[in-house]
């Protein structure tokens, strides 16, 4: 039995959007945790984020213009720099001096790395930001390279259901019934788990032959895999095949209480396989689409507010997620260090 604790964690870095979506001189409007946010990229390449509501009469700033330096509201032309500072109110006469900083828009810390833009969503009254270099997971071995394949899909659910689906080993034989992923029959799996920053890691292990034909397509024999998960919903999978390293970042971002974006980014597609990129896009969309479809069905039952029951060991990762989330919220409210509730252990299941 679990208490789903339907709350959204704040004071964390969330995945915002793939870097390539925001070109120099452009702006993009998004919603994160129910907050309207305007992301801009200055002509020099730097990314900013501010609340997408004009402080004058609440028109979204994204309805206005961005010239690569300043955002101009479409209603009365107030202008803001990308950091949210009000820099001009055209209706003021020269002698009508005014402290424009009273009209600044809330800005959000952003951090761009490895082809991804992350945003820090704090509590309204909290201006502190944790160090992004420590808090944002690094895709190992890819320096500042961008992913070669990115797919973002919106799931019609609260974040918890997207995350627990992401870390659920038992659903694959039923939800992902495709020839290239698994043969269909169930096999026993034994995995060693260890605590890692704000989450846990499945210790590096060799995939069994039954784990799927997808990896055979990539080539190089049986790969070794390490998978880590951390709050608020970020999974990094590192697959080593001989001299090749393929990494997959999956990040879950709550848009609102009823919608969640799942971003899948793939790094290190072997050169010989790049010709298959269009096919890989199709497969990734199919894979994510299958997860979305089952989440849509789940919403039918969740409307009745049932008590959800999780079992050992295949649901342990979901249980850890809820424990991690509650501990993060408690540590914040008690102003103390986060204590990872996950302990090293072996889990076994059939999948
Ligand atoms: Fe934005 Fe008036 S509403 S300038």
Ligand 1 neighbourhood includes 86 CB (under 6 angstroms): no
CA distance 204 to 71: 47
CA distance 82 to 63: 15
183-207 pLDDT tens trace: 557 788 899 999 999 999 999 988 7
> Cis before residue 313, ω within 30 degrees of 0?
yes
The residues, ordered by sequence, that sit 6+ positions from 261 with a Cβ below 8 Å of its Cβ are: 15, 152, 153, 154, 155, 252, 253, 255
CA distance 249 to 255: 19
Ligand 1 neighbourhood includes 59 CB (under 6 angstroms): yes
Of 2.102.10.10, 2.60.120.680, 3.30.420.10, 1.10.3720.10, which CATH number belongs to 12-133? 2.102.10.10
Strand partners, 39: 28, 49
Give percent of the chain above pLDDT 90. 72
257-311 pLDDT tens trace: 999 999 999 999 888 788 888 998 999 999 999 999 999 999 999 999 999 999 9
In this prediction, residue 1 carries a pLDDT of: 45
In this prediction, residue 128 carries a pLDDT of: 67
CA distance 182 to 212: 5
Residue 230 reports pLDDT greater than 70: yes
Ligand 1 neighbourhood includes 56 CB (under 6 angstroms): yes
In this prediction, residue 53 carries a pLDDT of: 98
Mean pLDDT of 235-246: 88
Which residue, by CA, sits nearest to atom 4 of ligand 1? 76
83-137 pLDDT tens trace: 999 999 999 999 998 999 999 999 999 999 999 999 999 987 556 677 887 788 8
CA distance 32 to 12: 12
Domain 145-350, CATH homologous superfamily name and number: Naphthalene 1,2-dioxygenase Alpha Subunit; Chain A, domain 1 (3.90.380.10)
> Could you identify the atom of ligand 1 that is nearest to the CA of residue 54?
1
Would you state the torsion angle of the CA atoms of residues 329, 332, 338, 342, taken in this order, to the nearest 10 degrees? 0
pLDDT bucket at 2, cuts 50 / 70 / 90:
very low
The domain segmentation of the chain, as residue ranges, is: 12-133, 145-350
> Could you identify the atom of ligand 1 that is nearest to the CA of residue 59?
3
In this prediction, residue 173 carries a pLDDT of: 84
Mean pLDDT of 62-82: 97
> Could you identify the atom of ligand 1 that is nearest to the CA of residue 57?
3
6-28 pLDDT tens trace: 799 999 999 999 999 999 999 99
Which residue, by CA, sits nearest to atom 2 of ligand 1? 76
- Name the more confident of 181 and 148: 148
């Amino acid at each position: 039995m679990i208490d789903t604790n339907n709350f959204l964690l704040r004071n964390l870095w969330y995945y915002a959007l793939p870097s390539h979506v925001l070109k120099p001189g452009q702006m993009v409007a998004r919603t994160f945790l129910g907050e309207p946010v305007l992301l801009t990229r200055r002509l020099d390449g730097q990314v900013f984020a501010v609340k997408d509501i004009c402080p004058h009469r609440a028109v979204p700033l994204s309805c206005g213009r961005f010239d690569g330096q300043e955002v101009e509201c479409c209603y009365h032309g107030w202008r803001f720099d990308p950091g949210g500072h009000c820099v001009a109110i055209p209706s003021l006469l020269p002698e009508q001096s005014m402290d424009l900083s009273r009209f600044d828009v809330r800005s959000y810390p952003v951090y761009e790395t490895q082809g991804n833009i992350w945003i820090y969503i704090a509590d309204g009254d909290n201006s502190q930001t944790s160090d992004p270099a420590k808090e944002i997971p690094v895709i190992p071995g890819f320096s500042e390279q961008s992913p070669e394949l990115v797919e973002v899909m919106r799931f019609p659910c609260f974040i918890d259901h997207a995350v627990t689906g992401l870390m659920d080993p038992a659903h694959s034989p039923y939800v992902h019934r495709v020839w290239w992923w698994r043969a269909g029959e169930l096999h026993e799996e034994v995995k060693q788990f260890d605590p890692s920053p704000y989450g846990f890691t499945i210790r590096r292990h060799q995939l069994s032959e039954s784990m799927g034909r997808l990896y055979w397509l990539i080539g190089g024999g049986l790969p070794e895999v390490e998978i880590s998960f951390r709050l608020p919903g970020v999974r990094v999978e590192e697959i080593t095949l001989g001299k090749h390293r393929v990494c997959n970042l999956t990040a879950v971002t709550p848009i609102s209480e009823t919608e969640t974006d799942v971003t899948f980014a793939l790094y290190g597609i072997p050169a010989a396989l790049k010709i298959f990129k269009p096919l890989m896009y199709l497969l990734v969309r199919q894979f994510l689409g299958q997860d979305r479809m089952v989440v849509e069905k789940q919403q039918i039952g969740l409307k009745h507010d049932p008590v959800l029951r999780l079992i050992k060991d295949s649901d342990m990762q979901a249980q850890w997620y809820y424990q991690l989330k509650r501990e993060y919220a408690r540590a914040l409210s008690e102003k103390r260090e986060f204590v990872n509730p996950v302990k090293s252990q072996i889990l076994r299941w059939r999948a």
